[in-house]
Each structure stands twice: as C-alpha cells, then as structure tokens.
Amino acid sequence: MEAFTATLKLVTQVVPPFDSTPAIDSSVIAPFEACYYRGLILNNDQNGDCEVLFVDYGNRAIIPYTQLYPIPADSLPALTGKSFPAVALRCKLTGLDYGFRPANAADFDRVFQDLLFSSNAQEKSLSAVINQQFPDVVEIRLCDPWCNDVAQTLLPMGTAVPPANIAARHGPGILPAGHNFDIKIRFIESAHTIYIWPASEEALSRERIKLMSSRMGVKFHACVSMPERGRYVTAFSIADKLFYRAIVLEVFYDSTAKVKFIDFGNVSRLPFDHLCPLDDADVLEFYACALKCRTTWTTEDGKEVIPKISDPQVMKTIYKNTTKVFISNFWVAGEDGPYEEDGFALLEDRADIQVQIPNGVPYDLVEGGKLAVDKSWPADNVSNKKPSLDVAPRVDIGAEVEVKVVEIETTVVINEGANVQPADGGGITTAAATTEAETSDV
C-alpha cells in the first residue's frame, strides 16, 4: 500500500488540484496526515468543503476542494475499478441485524471496540467467514484470535427485533378484474406506473395512517446497524413531521437510505436517524394502502396515448380529474412472483389498469399498441448498477480469511420520540476490513 500511496503523491505533483467543487461520487486523490490516498466524494457544500470517504481504509474527512486532485483520465483504469478495487471491504456482522437495540449504547460501543482493536495491539489476527455479499456491504461472521464469535459476545448486551413481514395487500376480492373502480391517485411514478387508493377505502386508509403514525412515533427507538435493503422501517417524514411505513430500496455511504413509502408509493432519501425498524404489529395489522398499477392510458375513442407527465400542469390535471380506472388484470402477491425491486424480492399485489386521459391533457400518440397489457408482469426496476466504489468480489462465500479492522462506523442511533434527534453516545455495527492476502500483494 505504501508504494501505491507514493504513486498517488507523484500524480499530485503533475496534476493541478480541482479548480471547482468536484461532483458527488467523483473519484479523487485526497490528503490525510501528509500522505495521499484514493477518495470518493460523498457530499459537498456551497463553501467548497467536501466529505471524502477514503476507500482503502473506510475513514472519512472534510477537506476543501482546493486540496483535492482529480485522477487523470489516462490513469483511471490503473488507479480505480477492476484493476485495483478498493482494498477496504465494508462489512456487517451476522447476528447484529438492523433492529438490534443495545441496553446501553456507551457500554456496547466500548466492548465492541475492545473486541475489534485489542487483537491489533497484541498483533493477533481476527478471522472472518464470508456469509453473504451485497452490492454495498459484505456480511461476515467475525471471530477473535481465540475463535470466539464477536456477535455472540455482543448479543446479550441488547435485544433484537426480527424482520417484519407485510400483511396481504388489497387482493382481487376487493378489486376484481373486469370492473371500473373509483380511485384516488396517490403517486405517479411514470407514464406507465401509478399508485392508487380505492375510493371506498380512502377514509379508512387516512384513519389507519394517522393511528399508525402516532403509534410508531412512540416506539421510535435506538437502532444498531445500517438498515438493510428490503427491510420494512418506520420513516420520519421531514416534510410533515409524521411517521410512515416504508421499505428500504438502497443504502448509501453518507448514512442515508432511499425508501419507498408503502402506503403512498413515493420515494425519498432519508438519514439513518430518521429510520427505525418496524415490528409485526405495525405491518401485519394493516395491509399497505397503495396498490401499484401498470397503466395504459386511452382517449375517449380507445386510442392508446402517453401523457406528458414531465409537464407540471399535466400532472396537476391528471391528479385532479382522474377518479376512475378499469382493472383489466390483477396479480396476487406470490402468484407469479416474487417481483424484483432494485435487486431484491418484493411481494405485493399489482394490477393492470386502463385509464381514460382527462380532457385537455397534452399527450403523445402511441403507434402499434406499444402500451398493450402483457400477459404477466416483467421483473421491473432490477438494479444494474455496479457495486459501490467498484468493490469487486474478492472472497468466496463461505471462505474463511484473516482480516484487520481499519475503521468502525458509529451508527447506533438514539432517537427521542417524535423529535428524531440523535442523542450523545456511539455504537458500532459495521467495519471496514482488509484481508491479509490483499494487503501483502499491494
């Protein structure tokens, strides 16, 4: 690694620093304690300060853009990507899933750090068995030099909440195919996909959501570990200061997650401290109010069209004047699924619907019935994105490797009711690790 950092320093001697703030997700060369390392821009502000993740170690720093250097285009293949992927692997411990609550965050923090770093002081190695690999994190069973499972040592220091399962959705008994229904559009994802509420359930849905928001706010609690994709969570909405049910779609390195509000269909990006695990009482008692629909728009004479939903006036007219749909098919959760949503299985009822375009809405004609209803739902929205930081798989599932912990992310979040403010005190859930084989090869 020393030779590589020396190479990066040489690059900084021939390449000028940035003359403006680099974009988020840019790869850069960044200084740290008089040396230079590879970094990734996680965030920036109007003052030109950038939050940089050092991809080979896992630590972060706030650095002015004037001290950051671009990686020359002709050097990108050699200094990034598959030629030299990030050395540090972001890891989470098997057994400490999202929802583990420490009885005392400070004690948990202290014990975890002692377990991870005492071996470094004694020049002994930790070992890890690779259980699963996801795009942005590797799940490992971590053992100390004496073969004790670290997670098993920590589990008695708190309680775990098992992942919740969503209740059955609307079902064809409520919305049978072949009929017209009065509805309220809750969210337009695209010209092809919208989320609706049956008008007959609107009042009940509002009452349920208000009740659940109040109940979830009371139970908003401390969490260990970052949320996992596909996990149901309580999400605190910054816009209206209420709590809603959501599912995690994606987790980011800046301690935020993209979530979908399952009772409405819209998507938002929220910080970890605005999220909390849902328990079964919050998801099994009431099904998700929003029904996802694949939409075919038609004119009065039955010609298929695509509304220009990028036009705000079109969106406003559709929301205001679309009150009825025809359900041509209903797909019950699990019949032909599970469906794929951003790379993970998602069980939900879906419907094929036909909607007559409201008068006065501009649209593009569709030739040849391009929006004709297919016989089955395709696996839509499957993520084709590369793993974060171009971290290529370097270890086999089930393999046991020696590791060195180089950084700990403090992500125990203490929330005080509806204020959603993290209290003082830390906690540990994930660590960046390097394998001894990799470090010796650099």
**DSSP string covering 354-385:** EEEPPTT--EEE-TT-TTPPPSS----S---P
pLDDT values of the chain reduced to their tens digit, one per residue, 442 residues = 777 778 788 888 888 999 999 988 888 999 998 889 998 888 888 888 998 988 888 888 999 999 999 988 776 666 666 567 777 777 878 777 777 777 887 788 788 888 777 666 566 778 888 877 766 677 888 887 778 888 888 888 887 766 666 665 666 667 888 889 999 999 998 888 999 998 888 888 888 888 888 888 777 765 666 787 888 888 888 788 888 988 888 888 777 889 999 889 999 998 888 888 887 666 666 777 888 898 999 888 888 888 888 888 888 889 888 999 999 888 876 665 555 555 555 667 788 899 988 877 877 766 544 444 444 454 444 333 333 444 444 567 767 767 767 666 644 433 333 333 322 322 233 334 333 222 222 2
Provide the pLDDT for residue 47: 87
> Measured in Å, how far apart are the chain's first and last C-alpha atoms?
5
The encoded tokens of residue 345 equal 């299985």
pTM (predicted TM-score) = 0.68
The answer to whether the CB of 11 falls within 8 A of the CB of 69 is yes
Provide the pLDDT for residue 205: 87
Rounded Cα gap, residues 151 and 141, in angstroms: 8
Give the model confidence (pLDDT) of 51-80 as tens digits.
898 888 888 899 999 999 998 877 666 666
Place of tokens 């002994």: 124
Rounded Cα gap, residues 280 and 271, in angstroms: 23
Phi, psi of 274 (to 5 degrees): -105, 10
Nearest Cα to 246, choosing from 217, 288, 284? 288
Beta-strand pair 89-93/138-143: parallel
Rounded Cα gap, residues 217 and 354, in angstroms: 38
Using CA atoms, how far residue 97 sits from 46, 251, 336, 429, in Å, is 36, 14, 29, 9
Provide the pLDDT for residue 366: 61
**Per residue in 285-322, is it b (16+ CB within 10 Å) or e — as a string?**
ebbbbbbbbbbbbbeeeeebbbbebeeeebbebbeeeb
Rounded Cα gap, residues 51 and 28, in angstroms: 11
Provide the pLDDT for residue 80: 63
Rounded Cα gap, residues 203 and 305, in angstroms: 32
Nearest Cα to 199, choosing from 324, 356, 330? 324
String of DSSP letters for 138-190: EEEEEE-TT--BHHHHHGGGEE--PPP-PPP-S-TTTS-TTEEEEEEEEEE-S
Residues 6+ apart with CB under 8 A from 312: none
Rounded Cα gap, residues 250 and 385, in angstroms: 11
Provide the pLDDT for residue 376: 46
Provide the pLDDT for residue 337: 53
Provide the pLDDT for residue 307: 85
Give the model confidence (pLDDT) of 190-227 as tens digits.
888 999 998 888 888 888 888 888 888 777 765 666 78
CA 152 vs. chain centroid, Å, equals 27
Other residues' Cβ atoms within 10 Å of the Cβ of residue 207: 10
